[in-house]
Amino acid sequence: MVAATLVASIIWIDESFAPVLLARKANKVRFETKNWAIHSKSQENGTSFRAMARKYLMVPLDMLIDPIAFFINLYSAFCYAIIYLAVTAFPYEFQGVSSLNTSPQEFADIDTGSWLERSCWIATISCHDNWCPIRSSH
């Protein structure tokens, strides 16, 4: 159902992104008037690796500096940690009922605990005021 909706959207819904519309209009006018100097604002600057790295790598990291976004992400991470820890409790719950083997259960506990520990260390190190490389560049 989702695939059919996607295909129908691609076929029948027109483009609405302003830079794309302006570039198409500039191309149309360029071919109609044979004036090859006509271009849209989005076609003036080429995309460089540095600009793309800034847009797609540094801007999300800059969002970590914003206190509101940081605490919302921290709260979401805490909620997901509780959910993942609850998932590892299912083998404990059903071990007495159906006599499950404990070896998969132990692997799940080790894996979840190590990921939780790593995420705490990453959050602590990356957002410390004295170390954070993002804050020192501003």
* 31 and 62 assigned to the same domain: no
Residue 3: the pLDDT is 85
Which parts of the chain register pLDDT below 70? 90-116, 120-121, 123-138
* 32 and 78 assigned to the same domain: no
* 19 and 85 assigned to the same domain: no
Element (H, E) at 24: helix 18-33
- Classify residue 51: in a domain, yes or no: no
CA torsion 69-70-71-77 (nearest 10°) is 110
* 136 and 69 assigned to the same domain: yes
**Domain boundary, last residue among 46, 66, 81:** 46
Pairwise CA distance, residues 101 & 91, whole Å: 9
Integer-rounded Cα Rg, in Å, for the chain is: 26
Residue 118 token pair: 């790593």
* Nearest of 49, 21, 56, 23 to residue 38 by alpha carbon: 23
* 37 and 74 assigned to the same domain: no
* 72 and 127 assigned to the same domain: yes
* 37 and 84 assigned to the same domain: no
* 86 and 129 assigned to the same domain: yes
Q: Which amino acid is at 84?
A: Y
Q: Which amino acid is at 73?
A: N
Residue 4: the pLDDT is 85
What residues make up the domain containing 20?
1-46
Pairwise CA distance, residues 47 & 45, whole Å: 7
* 123 and 76 assigned to the same domain: yes
Whether the model pTM is above 0.75: no
Residue 19 token pair: 């830079």
* 40 and 72 assigned to the same domain: no
